[in-house]
Amino acid sequence: MGKILMVLATRNKGKLAEFREMFKDFPVEIKSLLDFGSIPQAEEDGETFDDNAYKKASFTAKVLGIPVVAEDSGLVTEALDGAPGVYSARYAGEHATDKENIAKLLKEMKGETNRAAYFVSVISVAVPSGPALTYEGRCEGLIAETPSGENGFGYDPLFYYPPLKKTFAEMSIKEKNAVSHRGKALAELKQEFDKILTWIKQRLAETKPPCDHHDHDH
Ligand code: IMP
């Protein structure tokens, strides 16, 4: 059987690596926006992870004219009333690096005894005409006092996962995917894969223009 093309609306190599690891035994080829050169990007100005995931997926599906998968994720802390939340990628400023975001979070959390936090991942699968399917995963943990570990991306060095006594940055991709927010959302997506393909085919058929009428009786 040929491979099914999955286009992921992201330029984040960390996310891409986790998607690829999750689907490595599946007949799926995953491309990202890094394979499409410069195309217009959706604005991530939604108030929720759901809004942003849907915006990214449907906008990119319209631009490319094919079904697209998008993921929006972030870190939610109890002590900071949910921050950095939907602003996770740009917590320390518009083009902030992971290091700058980590430094800002440590500063904001200084002296806080409530270190409880969770990661959220919302995955949206959209077709060019607009409709989308949504999957969500969460993972609870604690904000560490100091960064630890070299793997992963984003806030991984600060996100301590008590059951494994490690930060996400101290885990392999496989270990992280087994427990993480993204891993959980992706597991659901994988489980429903056949249904999703059927749903996509139906949506695409609905929006096709009526068949050309070939009249051979001139
Ligand atoms: P998005 O590309 O708008 O979804 O940005 C999500 C941001 O949340 C990332 O840039 C990271 O800062 C943070 N984030 C999401 N998932 C993870 C993760 O698995 N590990 C560490 N940071 C994450």
Q: Measured between alpha carbons, how far is residue 114 from residues 81, 117, 129, 143, 201 in Å?
A: 11, 9, 45, 9, 47
pLDDT for the residue numbered 145: 98
Q: Are 18 and 173 in contact (CB under 8 A)?
A: yes
Instruction: Confirm whether 30 is domain-assigned.
Output: yes
Q: Residue 191 phi/psi, 5° resolution? A: -60, -35
Instruction: Confirm whether 217 is domain-assigned.
Output: no
Which tens digits make up the pLDDT trace of 136-161?
A: 999 999 999 999 999 999 999 999 99
Which tens digits make up the pLDDT trace of 56-103?
A: 999 999 999 999 999 999 999 999 999 999 999 999 999 999 999 999
Instruction: Confirm whether 199 is domain-assigned.
Output: yes
Q: Is 73 helix (H, G, I), strand (E, B) or coil?
A: strand
What's the pTM? Answer: 0.94
Chain centroid to Cα 145, Å, comes to: 26
Mean pLDDT, all residues of the chain: 94
Mutational test site, ligand 1, from 59, 71, 88, 173, max ligand atoms within 8 Å of CB: 88
Instruction: Confirm whether 177 is domain-assigned.
Output: yes
Active site residue 72: yes
**Which entry of 25, 45, 72, 98 is annotated as an active-site residue?**
72
Strand partners, 7: 31
| Counted domains in the chain | 1
Q: How confident is the model at residue 207 (pLDDT cuts 50, 70, 90)?
A: confident
Instruction: Confirm whether 218 is domain-assigned.
Output: no
pLDDT for the residue numbered 217: 44
Q: How confident is the model at residue 2 (pLDDT cuts 50, 70, 90)?
A: confident
What is the CB-side half-sphere exposure of residue 47 using CA atoms within 13 A?
Answer: 0
Burial class (CB in 10 A: 0-12, 13-18, 19+), 39: exposed
**Which residue has a Cα nearest atom 20 of ligand 1?**
156
Domain of residue 136 covers 4-206
Q: How confident is the model at residue 212 (pLDDT cuts 50, 70, 90)?
A: low
Q: Is pLDDT at 211 greater than 50 in this prediction?
A: yes
Q: Is pLDDT at 218 greater than 60 in this prediction?
A: no
Give the alpha-carbon dihedral of 50, 53, 54, 60, to 10 degrees: 170
Q: Is 155 in the pocket of ligand 1 (CB under 6 A)?
A: yes
| Other beta carbons within 10 Å of 25 | 7
pLDDT for the residue numbered 123: 98
Q: Are 173 and 21 in contact (CB under 8 A)?
A: yes
